[in-house]
Chain A
Amino acid sequence: MTAQPRFPAASRLLHWLMAPMIIAMLFIGVGMAASVSRHYDLLVSIHRPLGIAILGLCVARIVNRFINPPPDLPDTVPSLQRFAAKASHIALYALILVMPLVGWGMLSAARYPIVLYGPVQLPPILPHDLTLYAWLRDLHSVLAYLLFATFLAHFGAALYHGLIRRDGVFGSMASWKSMQFARTNRALIQNSTQTPEP
């Protein structure tokens, strides 16, 4: 393993907090859009507040990215893969930010109450317009499939770094063993920077 610095703690926390939420959202969304079962109501009533929570966390995450920039990829990663990594991260951020807004907007355009929990509701953000609703509803599905595909690419790439390249990129986000990781890193950095003893 090469010396790959880890993501800052706040970034790792946000990543691992949001990852299960987003995956749950994708599955709840595709499940409820197909369902006429007794679970439909429960799924919808989770989908709305979870989406808004993701929107809030996504904003926090974008702010955090400026405060705590991510570590660079190791030099060993080819330029095409660097580009793919950059593009897929931009796509992920954009989709995670836009999906809840489209959801909120489409419910607004249909004049569904946007209930978070009990009496807690959000105001509509768009005018009551059936055509606008239809457009946003379709967009919500298309973006959901895109987000699922981008998540798959992200997950696949992470496993590829972790299992095939073993270049420390996987551990830079996934490792919890902070002390051990830091020690290994320090040792590696020292080894690579120290001049060999005569």
Chain B
Amino acid sequence: MKPLWFKAATATNPGLLVRLGAIGAVMLSVTGAFAYTGGWLSPERLTQDRMMAAFRDANGTHVGFRRNHAKGVCVTGWFESSGQAAAISKAAVFKTGHVPVVGRFALAGGTPFQPDAPNTVRSIALRFLPPGGEEWRTGMNNIPVFPVNSARGFYEQLLAFSPDPATGKPDPAKIKAFLAAHPETARALALIKKRQITSGFADSSFNGLNAFRFVDAAGASLPVRWSVVPVQPVAADAAEQPEAGDENYLFDDLIAQIAQHPRQWRLIVTIGQAGDSTDDATQPWPEGRQQIGAGTVTIDQASSEDSGRCTAINYDPLVLPAGIEPSDDPLLSARSAAYARSFTLRAEEKHEKPPSAVTPEQVQVGGKS
């Protein structure tokens, strides 16, 4: 039964239904706007969930592991800053001195048990922990440029190179169509193919690929890209197959080498000039750009992901101290967002995660599985 006031209002107020309708319309509009913002009304929009679904399609489900660069080991060490980058960045990490580092070596791809292979892209992630708590996190790969220059490009590449369920191999027609639509990727892949492949992680150079901006104490900013270059001598890849059964030979070698004596990389900051692309990671910067030796990264300890200090860390490329700022490269936001979602998923799955390919026991015996 309707309350009295309602009857009275209807009787005296023919506009009541209109006003009720208006309230309903306002409620619906606000809800619709919220749903639209959350991506629920736009199946074509590339969201974090859809990016994660593409990783699942490409690699299968591997609970508890990072959705990309899934196979890795934790390392620790320190960064000895030369003080030379302090002139162009006010970040505390670049003042002359000693900064603890927690890192991770990994292989690109979302499969945590893939056998190590020379051509697989290798990566290093570093977390610099200067006094004062202003952290810097960065990930670098042993390739000269990134294969794509947008989140959409990354997504389409992931799907184009996914194994066909029927054959278990990527469909060449799909790859061809993808490369035709993304000439920047075709150009980048040609550069990536030409790179020098070294014998292992310890003698690989790793490049930050995305541009950032260094900001000095006066507020002046410069476009930069950074790399780490091995101090230890570089040996070409042996070009012979590793011993049968040694599926972790790259990681085993690294663990054995670090156990022997610490391994070092120089942190090189390259300063871009006007006209150098900062928003397109598929484009290399010309040779001969000014470079600064910011210091040396020393890695003296390795541990399995299952016990190491890198596991509960998201190497989000946008965890930056004041003095390092993102460039206009759209991949930075895309990486940050996708890493965050991958981190949340594996945190949720932590209790179900199987042991990593490189276990604490293997690290203990010196890296030989």
User: Total A-B pairs in contact (CB under 8 Å)?
Assistant: 121
Q: List residues of chain B with CB within 8 A of the CB of A148.
A: 34
Is A38 part of the contact surface with B, judged by Cβ < 8 Å? yes
Given A33-B38, A35-B337, A41-B326, answer yes or no on A130-B350 (Cβ-Cβ < 8 Å).
Answer: yes
A137 to B311, alpha carbons, bound, how many Å? Answer: 18
Q: In the complex the two chains form, is B133's CB within 8 Å of A40's CB? A: no
Q: In the complex the two chains form, is B47's CB within 8 Å of A35's CB? A: yes
Cβ 8 A contact of B350, one of A30, A32, A39, A134: A134
Is B20 part of the contact surface with A, judged by Cβ < 8 Å? yes
Q: List residues of chain A with CB within 8 A of the CB of B249.
A: none
Q: List residues of chain B with CB within 8 A of the CB of A156.
A: 23, 26-27
Given A34-B39, A156-B23, answer yes or no on A129-B312 (Cβ-Cβ < 8 Å).
Answer: yes
Is A196 part of the contact surface with B, judged by Cβ < 8 Å? no
Is B117 part of the contact surface with A, judged by Cβ < 8 Å? no
Is A63 part of the contact surface with B, judged by Cβ < 8 Å? no
Give the contact-size bracket for chain A: 35 or more
**Which segment, of A93-101, A113-121, A183-191, faces chain B?**
A113-121
Is A16 part of the contact surface with B, judged by Cβ < 8 Å? no
Given A26-B34, A33-B38, A137-B347, answer yes or no on A164-B20 (Cβ-Cβ < 8 Å).
Answer: yes
- In chain B, positions 108-165 with a C-beta closer than 8 Å to chain A are 133-135, 151
Is B16 part of the contact surface with A, judged by Cβ < 8 Å? yes
Q: List residues of chain A with CB within 8 A of the CB of B47.
A: 34-36
Is A138 part of the contact surface with B, judged by Cβ < 8 Å? yes
Main secondary structure of the interface of A (DSSP, over half): helix
Q: Which residue of the partner chain A has the closest CB to B347? A: A134
Q: List residues of chain A with CB within 8 A of the CB of B343.
A: 110
Q: Which residue of the partner chain A has the closest CB to B38? A: A30
A164 to B21, alpha carbons, bound, how many Å? Answer: 11
Q: In the complex the two chains form, is B3's CB within 8 Å of A36's CB? A: no
Q: In the complex the two chains form, is A128's CB within 8 Å of B334's CB? A: no
A34 to B43, alpha carbons, bound, how many Å? Answer: 12
A178 to B47, alpha carbons, bound, how many Å? Answer: 47
A75 to chain B, nearest CB (A): 12
Q: Which residue of the partner chain B has the closest CB to A45? A: B318
Is A65 part of the contact surface with B, judged by Cβ < 8 Å? no
A12 to B361, alpha carbons, bound, how many Å? Answer: 63
Q: In the complex the two chains form, is A152's CB within 8 Å of B350's CB? A: no
Is B80 part of the contact surface with A, judged by Cβ < 8 Å? no
Is B330 part of the contact surface with A, judged by Cβ < 8 Å? yes
Q: List residues of chain A with CB within 8 A of the CB of B19.
A: 163-164
Q: List residues of chain B with CB within 8 A of the CB of A38.
A: 328, 330, 333-334
Cβ 8 A contact of B333, one of A30, A39, A133, A163: A39
A35 to B47, alpha carbons, bound, how many Å? Answer: 5
- In chain A, positions 34-67 with a C-beta closer than 8 Å to chain B are 34-41, 44
Is B31 part of the contact surface with A, judged by Cβ < 8 Å? yes
Is B319 part of the contact surface with A, judged by Cβ < 8 Å? yes
Residue from B45, B47, B135, B347 having most chain A Cβ neighbours under 10 A: B347
The digit string for B298-316, where 1 denotes a CB below 8 A from any CB of A, is 0000000000000111101
Cβ 8 A contact of B314, one of A112, A123, A159, A160: A112
Given A30-B38, A31-B38, A130-B312, answer yes or no on A36-B338 (Cβ-Cβ < 8 Å).
Answer: yes
Residue from B319, B321, B332, B344 having most chain A Cβ neighbours under 10 A: B344
Is B351 part of the contact surface with A, judged by Cβ < 8 Å? yes
A111 to B127, alpha carbons, bound, how many Å? Answer: 12
Q: List residues of chain B with CB within 8 A of the CB of A76.
A: 5
B346 to chain A, nearest CB (A): 8
Is A27 part of the contact surface with B, judged by Cβ < 8 Å? yes
A27 to B33, alpha carbons, bound, how many Å? Answer: 9
Can you identify 17 A-B contacts, CB atoms within 8 angstroms? A32-B337, A34-B49, A39-B333, A40-B334, A44-B318, A44-B336, A112-B319, A113-B135, A129-B312, A130-B311, A130-B350, A152-B31, A155-B27, A156-B26, A159-B26, A164-B9, A164-B19
Q: A27-B34, A36-B334, A163-B22 are known contacts; what are 15 more A-B pairs with Cβ within 8 Å?
A: A26-B34, A33-B48, A34-B38, A35-B39, A38-B328, A38-B330, A40-B333, A119-B321, A119-B322, A130-B347, A131-B350, A137-B344, A155-B26, A159-B26, A163-B20
Ranked 4 nearest A-B pairs via Cβ: A134-B347, A34-B39, A40-B333, A30-B38
Residues of B that sit less than 8 Å from A by CB: 3, 5, 9, 16, 19-20, 22-23, 26-27, 30-31, 33-34, 37-39, 45-49, 51, 133-135, 151, 311-314, 316, 318-319, 321-322, 326, 328, 330, 332-334, 336-338, 343-344, 346-348, 350-351
